Structure 1
Amino acid sequence: MLNRVILIGRLARDPELRYTSNGVAVTRFVVAVNRSYTNQQGERDADFIPIVTWRGLAENCANYIRKGSLVGLEGRIQVSSYENQEGRTVWTTEVIADSVRFLDSSKSRAAGGPPDDFRPDNYGGNNNYGGNSYGNNRQKPMDDPFADDGRQIDISDDDLPF
Structure 2
Amino acid sequence: MNNTIMMGRLVRDPQINYVENGKGDEMAIANFRLAVDRKFSDDTDYFPCAAFGRLAEFAEKYLYQGIKVVVNGRMENNNYTSKDGDKVYGVCLKLNEIEFAESKNAGRDDDEDGGGRNRNSGNRRNSSGGRGSSSGSRSGSRNSGSSRSGSGRSSGSSRGGYQNSGSGNSRSSRGRNVDEEFEGMEDGYFD
State TM-score, norm by structure 1.
0.68
CA contact (8 A) 1:17 1:28 kept: yes
CA contact (8 A) 2:164 2:170 kept: no
1:120 is matched with which residue: 161, 171, 182? 161
* Structure-to-structure mapping, 1:66-81, within 5 angstroms: 66-81=64-79
How many residue pairs end up in the alignment?
127
Cα RMSD for the two superposed structures: 2.5
TM-aligned CA deviation for residue 138 of structure 1: 6.1
TM-aligned CA deviation for residue 105 of structure 1: 1.1
CA contact (8 A) 1:64 1:114 kept: no
1:118-142 CA-partner distances (Å, limit 9, x unpaired)? 8433xx533xxxx43xxx3267x98
TM-aligned CA deviation for residue 61 of structure 1: 0.5
| Farther off after superposition, 15-24 or 60-69 | 15-24
| Paired residue secondary structure (1:20) | strand
* Structure-to-structure mapping, 1:39-118, within 5 angstroms: 44-108=42-106, 110-112=115-117, 113=142, 115=144, 116-117=154-155
| Paired residue secondary structure (2:51) | strand
Cα 1:114–1:65 change in 2 (3 A) is: farther
TM-aligned CA deviation for residue 114 of structure 1: 6.0
TM-aligned CA deviation for residue 82 of structure 1: 1.5
- Counterparts of 2:19 and 2:62 in 1: how far apart (Å)? 21
- Counterparts of 1:13 and 1:47 in 2: how far apart (Å)? 15
- Counterparts of 2:161 and 2:143 in 1: how far apart (Å)? 9
TM-aligned CA deviation for residue 85 of structure 1: 0.8
Q: Which residue number corresponds to residue 12 of structure 2?
A: 13
- Counterparts of 1:58 and 1:18 in 2: how far apart (Å)? 9
- Counterparts of 1:20 and 1:56 in 2: how far apart (Å)? 13
Cα 1:28–1:114 change in 2 (3 A) is: farther
State TM-score, norm by structure 2.
0.59
Structure with the higher strand share, 1 or 2: 1
Q: Which residue number corresponds to residue 169 of structure 2?
A: 137
1:25-83 CA-partner distances (Å, limit 9, x unpaired)? 11000111100122xxxxx1100111100000001111111000010011010002211
Q: Which consecutive segments of 4 or more residues in structure 1 shift more than 6 A?
A: none
Higher radius of gyration, 1 or 2: 1
CA contact (8 A) 1:26 1:53 kept: yes
Q: Which runs of 5+ in 2 are unaligned?
A: 109-114, 118-141, 145-153, 176-191
| Paired residue secondary structure (1:78) | strand
Q: Which residue number corresponds to residue 157 of structure 1?
A: none
